[in-house]
Amino acid sequence: MIYLKTDQEIELIKKSAQVLGKAHAEVAKWVKPGVTTRQLDSVAEEYIRDHEGVPSFKGFNGFPSSLCISVNEVVVHGFPSTYELRDGDIISIDCGVKLNGYHSDSAYTYPVGEVSEEVLTLLSRTKKSLYLGIEKATDGMRMGDVGFAIQNYVEQFGYSVIRELVGHGIGKSLHESPEVPNYGKRGKGIKLKEGMVLAIEPMINLGKKSVVQEKDGWTIRTSDRKPSAHFEHTVAVRKGKAEILTTFEYIEEVTANTSLMVMAP
């Protein structure tokens, strides 16, 4: 069952996404060598609760934290821990906020300190692929058009698209139908309709596409232990042009002209 949202509901998701974008920015201020991923989680949770929101992930299917923090070869669903960030790491920070009954979800991958050119480029191209996917999220297109745009762009560089993890519908629930794969065929899949709200989230590997789950039952990492990048926006399908409901604007006010900046490719 796919729930189409009214404009009023989309406005509520946007309000939740404003708190989310600012929570991300608070966290971005702390992304540096020596900081533990648990500290980052506390910053996010405090900001969200201080702004009348609830961290969507905390308690979701038993997930213990407000952020999913995924370092280097960890793709998604990493737990915040006592791990201290190191120079040369990349860190995906994924966060969700529930406000006035509606969820928003977004993710951003940061370079920590000095990161190799090869990995910096993986980040900028993964971010670019997100926007290429979003461009296709318009009324009348097919889900396969979104996935194709992402896959076709990243595979030309020898990167690979994870098959086991996909984006999702979002609204009153954090995860709703439909699934939003980051791969696909043009003109295939369900037809997109105005009012669908989708979390589009390319997870792109520098090496091979296969992933494994760690014994903790959550953490997903690449099988070859090469790095993986992840960017995500919550988007409303519209006629003509998709509407991006989440924002990286506040993050990028913090990261501008710092080593955390992810350049356009």
- Which residues of this chain interact with Mg ion, rule CB under 5 A? 94, 105, 107, 199, 232
C-beta of 76 vs 122, nearer to Mg ion: 76
Two structure tokens written together for 22 = 């600012």
Residue 217, amino acid: G
C-beta of 45 vs 232, nearer to Mg ion: 232
Token look-up 């020898």 returns 158
Residue 169, amino acid: G
C-beta of 27 vs 107, nearer to Mg ion: 107
Question: What number of H helices and E strands is found in the chain?
Answer: 5, 15
C-beta of 63 vs 157, nearer to Mg ion: 63
Per DSSP, 62 falls in state G
Residue 114 Cβ, how far from Mg ion at the closest point, in Å? 27
Inter-axis angle of helices 117-135 and 143-155, to 10 degrees?
Answer: 160
Q: Is the dihedral of CA 48, 70, 247, 22 positive or negative?
A: positive
Residue 1 Cβ, how far from Mg ion at the closest point, in Å? 19
Q: Taking the CA of residue 184 as centre, how many other CA atoms within 13 Å lie in the half-sphere pointing to its CB? A: 24
Two structure tokens written together for 75 = 């793709």
Residue 52 Cβ, how far from Mg ion at the closest point, in Å? 20
Residue 177 Cβ, how far from Mg ion at the closest point, in Å? 14
CA distance 104 to 68: 14
Residue 82 CB-density burial (10 A; 0-12 exposed, 13-18 middle, 19+ buried): exposed
C-beta of 12 vs 68, nearer to Mg ion: 68
CA distance 144 to 210: 21
Residue 170 Cβ, how far from Mg ion at the closest point, in Å? 7
C-beta of 26 vs 232, nearer to Mg ion: 232
Inter-axis angle of helices 37-50 and 7-28, to 10 degrees?
Answer: 140
Residue 220 Cβ, how far from Mg ion at the closest point, in Å? 13
C-beta of 17 vs 141, nearer to Mg ion: 17
Residue 176 Cβ, how far from Mg ion at the closest point, in Å? 11
